Each structure stands twice: as C-alpha cells, then as structure tokens.
A and B are shown apart, each in its own frame.
Chain A
C-alpha cells in the first residue's frame, strides 16, 4: 500500500510540474522541450516500479525496472554479444546494402519516365506488404548465420527507400530545371547539383522508415534459426524459460539500438538538408 501511495504522489507532483511548464512561457525554452518528456518517461518508470512493489506483481509477469536494470548490468557481456550479432552484423549491414541498392536503382530508373510510372505504384504496393514473411525462406537459403538476417533486411528496406528516392527525384520544378538548362548543365550536372539535393528530404524519409524495419527484420529472422546468440534468439529462449527480467533487458537493448539508429539518421538528415524549411529555425 505504501508503495502505491508513493507512486501516486510522485505522479501527481510530476504532472503538476509539467503542467506548470506547459502553461507558462517557459515552454519555449530549449531545456523544457527535453525536460518535460524526460520527466514524463521517468514518471512512468516510477509508477511501474511502485505498482509492481505495491501490488506484489510476480516477476514472471512483470519485473520491476530496478530488477531489469540490475539484470542489464549483470549480463552486459551477453547483451553486447547479442547486439553485435543482430544489430551490427545483421541489421546494419543489410541496411547499408539495401539502401545503396535502392538508391542506385532509383537513379537508373530515373532516366526512364516509363519505368518510373510502372515502378512507383508497384513499389508503393510492395512497401505495404508483410515482407517479414520471407524470413523463413531466406534463412533456408543463406543459413543460420548473420548473412540470412542481412538478406531479410535488404529486402525489407529496399522498397521504402526506392519509392521515396524516385519520388524525391521528381520534386524539382520545371523552372529550376530550365534554369539549369540555361546554364548549359548536362544530365549529370543537373542530377548532382539540383535534383539529388532536392530529393534528400525524401531519401531521408525512406532511410528513417528503414531503420525500424531493419531491426524488425533482423530480429524476426532469428526466430527461424540462428546461432545460440543474437537478440531475437535470446528473447525467444528466455521468454520460454520465463526469465522475464532478461527479456526486458534485451528489449531495452533493442529500444536503445532502435532509437540510436533513428537518431543517427535524423542527425545526418539535419546536416545534409540544413536548407530545408523543416530544419530551419530550430536554433
């Protein structure tokens, strides 16, 4: 009972602080934009902890955040090994290959209006399909190692990046292209100096969608066969043994990897497309 009251009290105070910040001009401050969501997230953790302690929830159903953190620290070696296997070898390599393949295909297709018209609707359709389903097939083809995971990721990230790049390359207006023409710029000069930069916001949109898909693909593929390490393998086997604190520690790794991956791409986007209206005026 005591823990429930603590949790409720903390929530009430945190809510009051956030409300206060959101209602005053403080909200325009930069630290407030970080502090408010951070406090919200921390409050969720505190409420979770106090619920688990106050209601005596079995650790098999829902372990407390402190228990998960303890397990995380204790199992750092295993978690790191899993992270390297799944996120770096499987997801990252597949992501890079898939992105390069999609980008090159988009540039090849770009020269033919006919191909673009055919590829865009089909790409849009394929991007909506449950492509993860090919995971068992590719695991059969390429074996249990990270290569098969990488292959799944290549297929999964290919289409979103392709259609976004093709769409982005069509973004320039006739006026801009005419200007390049009056400068006597050829196809390649126009592509590099005008159309590729103009396409970048779209390309990054595809790249950002791809980050989440890459991790999903790499983890799902491990459910169909993997060496005895890797995030997907660990989650499934530990969930079967009911050691939920380890599962949650692995989920924390997945969450950190996913957010870091997404954050890196967003940072690159900021650097590359600094001229775009959506990036300007954010200090």
Chain B
C-alpha cells in the first residue's frame, strides 16, 4: 500500500503537465478566434476556451475521457462507432498472434535446448530477426496475403504480432529450461528417468516462472504488433484503424480516445497474464 501515494503523485504530475500543455498549445487558436470577433480575452476566459475546443491541437484529459465514455457506453457494441467493437477486433487478432508466437517461441526454445545444432544456427538469427523493424514488412505481408487470396485481415495482423512476441517468449523459455542445475539433472538420472520424463517433470515445471514473465512482455508486444498491422494498411476496423481514420478524417480527439483504449487493453492483458501466473505458480508451490 506504501507505493500508492508515490504513484498517484506521479499520475497527478502527468495530468498537470497535460493540462498545461493543452492550455499552451490551444491558446493560439482561442486568441485568433477572439481577435477575429474583436474581443479581448481575460486569462480565465482564455483558459476555459482552451479546454473545450472541438478540434483542439492537444485535447484536455477530461475531453478524452468524455469521448471514451461516449464511444464505449453510449454506442451499441456492434456499431462501427463503438470503441468496444474496434477493441474486440484488435483483441481478437492480438490473441491469435500471441498464441501463434507462443507456440513458435516455445517449440523453438525446446529445440534449441535439446539440439545443439539448432542452438548454434538458429539462435543468432532469432536475435537478428528482432533488429529488423517488422513494420517495414507489414505493408508487404498484407499486399501479398491479398494476392494469394487470403481476404481475411486477421491473418496478416496475427503474423505481425506473432513476429513481435515470439522472441521474448523464446528467450525466457530457453533460460527457464536451462535453469535446473546439474545436481537436479543428476538426480533425475539416478531415478533412471527418460529424456521425456526429465523434460516433463523437471525442466518444464522449472521454466514456468521465466515463461510467465516473458509472456507478460510478449502479450504487450503482440498488441503493439496488431496495432502496427492496422496502421499503415488502410484497415477499416480495429483500434489501429481508428487511429488512422481519426488522423485522416475525424477530429483528433478520436486518435486520443483510441490510444487510451489501446493502453487500457494493454494493461488488462498484462494483468490477466499476471493473474494466471500467480494462480499457476501458487498451485505449483512456487509462489514467491
């Protein structure tokens, strides 16, 4: 509980900076308007005008919250103007991408731990693959997918998020599978355990704390991947598309509300993985 006060202080400071920024950036427009109307603005009037502009350069936090409320609670969830609808689309392909990335990451990790030739040849490329900016590939994946005849938008987005999230899972899993020390492995040998048994009963369980920690990073990365997949490609549905459309046609406040919605989604996903981690580790007797 001790840490709540510092966190709240920092949040309050961020809010204060945001309000100050909104005032500074929107003041010019308000002054111009007043000048055209031939009116003088006192400071409180100016402040009030910067807080409620429809096309504010930087919308104030309460405007974003109002827009967020309006586009989640006041719209039907099936409506194209509902953020719940767009959030669902994004969540859907994030989860597919995460599942794909987790399967690829875990199987590569097992192969790397058990086959030295895989360790030597694949591991360096896995590292290099992460230095390649995936967004460079995103437009191409989407064009090629539609050429091959995969009309579903889900597939390219899921591939991009899988690409971003497999690596942390791979690294965490390799670390975890290698975490049993030689005494433990020797003990398994004295029990004359087979290779599969020592994997199933020793290596896999001891990799769990590492795996969950890296899955928390992985699911956040998967969400980033999905949004990146929606951004440059003229997608019409999803939070990324909402940002894109808000940029091109709508008021800027839509970008902000979509961004906040994406942040809430990211926080929720990480929290859920954290919860599963706590329950699993507790049942396995590994709770810290």
Distance (whole angstroms) from the CB of B71 to the closest CB of chain A: 16
Distance (whole angstroms) from the CB of A203 to the closest CB of chain B: 19
CB pair B232 A223 closer than 8 Å = yes
Distance (whole angstroms) from the CB of B126 to the closest CB of chain A: 10
CB-nearest residue of chain A relative to B13?
A118
Interface centre among A18, A32, A139 (most CB of B within 10 A): A18
1/0 per residue A89-129: CB within 8 Å of B?
00000000000000000000000001111110110010011
* Given A61-B147, A235-B140, also A258-B121 (CB < 8 A): no
CB pair A129 B262 closer than 8 Å = yes
Give CA–CA (A114, B133) in the complex, Å.
Answer: 37
CB-nearest residue of chain B relative to A113?
B6
CB pair A37 B243 closer than 8 Å = no
Contacts of A250 on B, CB cut-off 8 Å? 136
CB pair A140 B3 closer than 8 Å = no
Distance (whole angstroms) from the CB of A226 to the closest CB of chain B: 12
Give CA–CA (A134, B243) in the complex, Å.
Answer: 9
CB pair B6 A118 closer than 8 Å = yes
A231 at the interface (CB under 8 A from B): yes
B180 at the interface (CB under 8 A from A): no
Give CA–CA (A254, B135) in the complex, Å.
Answer: 10
CB-nearest residue of chain A relative to B144?
A61
CB pair B7 A117 closer than 8 Å = yes
Distance (whole angstroms) from the CB of A132 to the closest CB of chain B: 6
1/0 per residue B233-254: CB within 8 Å of A?
0000001100110110000100
A19 at the interface (CB under 8 A from B): yes
Give CA–CA (A5, B125) in the complex, Å.
Answer: 25
Identify A27's interface contact among B116, B122, B263, CB under 8 A.
Answer: B116
A191 at the interface (CB under 8 A from B): no
Interface hit among A143-151, A194-202, A212-220: A212-220
CB pair B133 A258 closer than 8 Å = yes
Give the interface residue-count category, chain B.
35 or more
Distance (whole angstroms) from the CB of A48 to the closest CB of chain B: 14
* Given A118-B10, A251-B140, also A132-B228 (CB < 8 A): yes
A39 at the interface (CB under 8 A from B): yes
Interface residues of B in 120-161 (CB under 8 A from A): 120-125, 128, 130-137, 139-140, 143-144, 147-148
Contacts of B263 on A, CB cut-off 8 Å? 129-130
B266 at the interface (CB under 8 A from A): yes
A62 at the interface (CB under 8 A from B): yes
Contacts of B140 on A, CB cut-off 8 Å? 235, 239, 244, 247-248, 251
Mostly helix, strand, loop or mixed at chain B's interface?
helix
CB-nearest residue of chain A relative to B132?
A255
CB pair A18 B136 closer than 8 Å = no
Distance (whole angstroms) from the CB of B17 to the closest CB of chain A: 13
B220 at the interface (CB under 8 A from A): yes
A13 at the interface (CB under 8 A from B): no
Once A and B bind, how many residue pairs between them come within 8 Å at the CB atom?
Answer: 169
A185 at the interface (CB under 8 A from B): no
A176 at the interface (CB under 8 A from B): no
Interface centre among A21, A32, A137 (most CB of B within 10 A): A137
Contacts of A60 on B, CB cut-off 8 Å? 147
* Given A121-B7, A130-B223, A134-B259, also A23-B116 (CB < 8 A): yes
CB pair A118 B9 closer than 8 Å = yes
Contacts of A39 on B, CB cut-off 8 Å? 121
Contacts of B5 on A, CB cut-off 8 Å? 118
Give CA–CA (A27, B123) in the complex, Å.
Answer: 14
CB pair A118 B136 closer than 8 Å = no
CB-nearest residue of chain A relative to B270?
A128
Identify A259's interface contact among B9, B120, B132, CB under 8 A.
Answer: B132
B227 at the interface (CB under 8 A from A): yes
CB pair A219 B231 closer than 8 Å = no
Identify A121's interface contact among B3, B131, B139, B239, CB under 8 A.
Answer: B3
B48 at the interface (CB under 8 A from A): no
CB pair A235 B3 closer than 8 Å = no
CB pair B232 A236 closer than 8 Å = yes
Identify A239's interface contact among B122, B133, B139, B217, CB under 8 A.
Answer: B139
Identify B255's interface contact among A37, A62, A133, A251, CB under 8 A.
Answer: A133
CB pair A115 B6 closer than 8 Å = yes
Interface residues of B in 65-114 (CB under 8 A from A): none
* Given A115-B6, A128-B266, A223-B231, also A137-B252 (CB < 8 A): yes
Contacts of A224 on B, CB cut-off 8 Å? 247
Interface residues of A in 213-271 (CB under 8 A from B): 215-216, 219-220, 223-224, 231-232, 235-236, 239-240, 242, 244, 247-248, 250-251, 254-255, 258-259, 261-262
Instruction: Report 15 cross-chain contacts, Cβ distance below 8 Å, ordered by A residue.
Output: A130-B262, A132-B227, A133-B259, A136-B244, A137-B252, A219-B133, A220-B232, A224-B247, A231-B136, A232-B232, A239-B143, A242-B143, A251-B137, A254-B136, A259-B132
12 new A-B contacts at CB < 8 Å, known A216-B134, A261-B131: A116-B6, A118-B9, A133-B262, A212-B130, A219-B135, A232-B135, A232-B232, A235-B140, A239-B140, A247-B140, A254-B133, A258-B133
Residues of A that sit less than 8 Å from B by CB: 18-19, 21-23, 27, 32-33, 36-37, 39-41, 60-62, 114-119, 121-122, 125, 128-130, 132-137, 139-141, 211-212, 215-216, 219-220, 223-224, 231-232, 235-236, 239-240, 242, 244, 247-248, 250-251, 254-255, 258-259, 261-262
